[in-house]
């Protein structure tokens, strides 16, 4: 049995309040040097930027220094030309070399004309993912991203988040959840081999627990919060699977809770179907009101 510790504790936060943020919106102390270096390096390109906002686990108040990404969305006045893209690539290469947390930086560079839009509505955009800069790709830009920026984002540059000229509703977020359940998670048996891998156990179980939180409780939370919340709320059948995801995510020195990867894979596939069915019932009940 894996015991989930309810208080992992976040590393120290910077007590200095950022301009235009609430008291709760703090950048972790360990992350601040990277943010400072990024903004300083970006100064030659400053005229191209409309606003820069931290979202993700930092904005949600659940950053974990050993696990969490550092998610930033930057709004540019227009499409960046090749010279500017080359500067961005060089900038990020340097940050990777000089900052330990540089590899955890995840960047989206979105032209202002695409404010509030999803991947399916726009052309590819510059990104930094897994330590690699790309001048044009998709990176799961969705209503969830925009809702988090608009309602939880920490402003590094530009207008206050609440004044950004776009609208995103909670219904838009729920639509994204339904699209995910009816899309990617509807056909897991087309790629069952993925669920033999440890990494995909964490991705799948935490994502589905986060989706349940959004659908049933009207909240967007981090992976660890979702795993802890649903461990004791779901039927007992799923507890070993959630504990297994926790064990892998936090590199606990305990053996797997499953005798074989094949058995674990089958349980993950069953959990996907369970969450899809449960989420579908919620949507159906909502539609009948």
pLDDT in single tens digits along all 289 residues of the chain: 443 333 333 333 343 334 344 433 589 999 999 999 999 999 999 999 999 999 999 999 999 988 999 999 999 999 999 999 999 999 999 999 999 999 999 999 999 999 999 999 999 999 999 999 999 999 999 999 999 999 999 999 999 999 999 999 999 999 999 999 999 899 888 888 999 999 999 999 999 999 999 999 999 999 999 999 999 999 999 999 999 999 999 999 999 999 999 999 999 999 999 999 999 898 877 765 6
Q: Are the beta carbons of 102 and 129 closer than 8 angstroms?
A: no
Count of Cβ atoms closer than 10 Å to residue 128 Cβ: 23
- Shortest CA distance to 250 belongs to which of 272, 212, 224, 268? 224
Cβ contacts of 217 within 8 Å, gap of 6 or more: none
Going by C-alpha positions, the residue among 67, 56, 75, 74 that lies closest to residue 30 is 67
Q: Mutual orientation of helices 239-249 and 198-217 as an angle, nearest 10°? A: 120
Q: How far is CA 196 from CA 41, 103, 128, 180, 187, in A?
A: 41, 26, 28, 21, 16
The helices-and-strands tally (H runs, E runs) of the chain is 9, 6
CA gap 215, 209 in Å, rounded: 10
Distance of CA 261 to the CA centre of its chain: 27
CB 225 within 8 A of CB 8: no
The alpha carbon of residue 148 and the mean position of all alpha carbons in its chain are separated, in whole angstroms, by 10
| In the chain, where the domains are located | 32-166, 171-287
Phi then psi for residue 162, to 5 deg, are -70, -20
pTM: 0.87
What pLDDT does 288 receive?
A: 59
Inter-helix orientation angle 170-182/261-287, to 10°? 140
Q: Which DSSP letter does residue 193 get? A: G
Contacts of 40 (CB under 8 A, 6+ apart): none
The C-alpha atoms of residue 157 and residue 52 are separated, in whole angstroms, by 5
Decide: 39 and 13 in contact? Cβ < 8 Å: no
> Are residues 30 and 65 in contact, defined by beta-carbon separation less than 8 angstroms?
yes
pLDDT of amino acid 14: 40
């Amino acid at each position: 049995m894996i015991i989930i510790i309810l208080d992992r504790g976040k590393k120290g936060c910077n007590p200095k309040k950022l301009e235009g943020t609430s008291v709760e919106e703090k950048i972790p102390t360990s992350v601040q040097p990277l943010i400072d270096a990024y903004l300083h390096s970006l100064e030659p390109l400053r005229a191209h930027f409309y606003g820069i906002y931290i979202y993700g686990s930092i904005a949600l108040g659940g950053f974990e220094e050993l696990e969490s990404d550092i998610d930033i969305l930057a709004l540019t006045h227009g499409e960046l030309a090749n010279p500017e893209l080359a500067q961005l690539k060089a900038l990020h290469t340097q940050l990777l070399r000089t900052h330990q947390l540089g590899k955890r930086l995840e960047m989206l560079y979105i032209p202002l004309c695409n404010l509030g839009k999803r991947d399916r509505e726009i052309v590819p955009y510059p990104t930094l993912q897994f330590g690699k800069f790309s001048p044009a790709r998709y990176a799961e830009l969705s209503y969830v991203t925009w809702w988090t920026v608009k309602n939880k984002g920490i402003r590094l540059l530009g207008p206050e988040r609440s004044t950004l000229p776009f609208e995103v509703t909670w219904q838009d977020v729920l639509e994204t959840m339904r699209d995910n359940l009816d899309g990617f998670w509807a056909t897991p048996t087309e790629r069952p081999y993925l669920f033999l891998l440890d990494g995909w156990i964490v991705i799948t179980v935490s994502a589905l627990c986060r989706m349940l939180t959004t659908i049933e409780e009207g909240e967007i939370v981090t992976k660890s919060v979702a795993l802890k919340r649903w461990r004791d709320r779901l039927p007992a059948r799923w507890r070993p699977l959630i504990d297994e995801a926790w064990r892998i995510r936090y590199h606990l020195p305990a053996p797997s809770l499953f005798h074989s990867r094949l058995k674990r894979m089958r349980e993950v596939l069953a959990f996907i179907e369970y969450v899809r069915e449960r989420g579908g019932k919620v949507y159906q009940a909502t539609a009948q009101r």
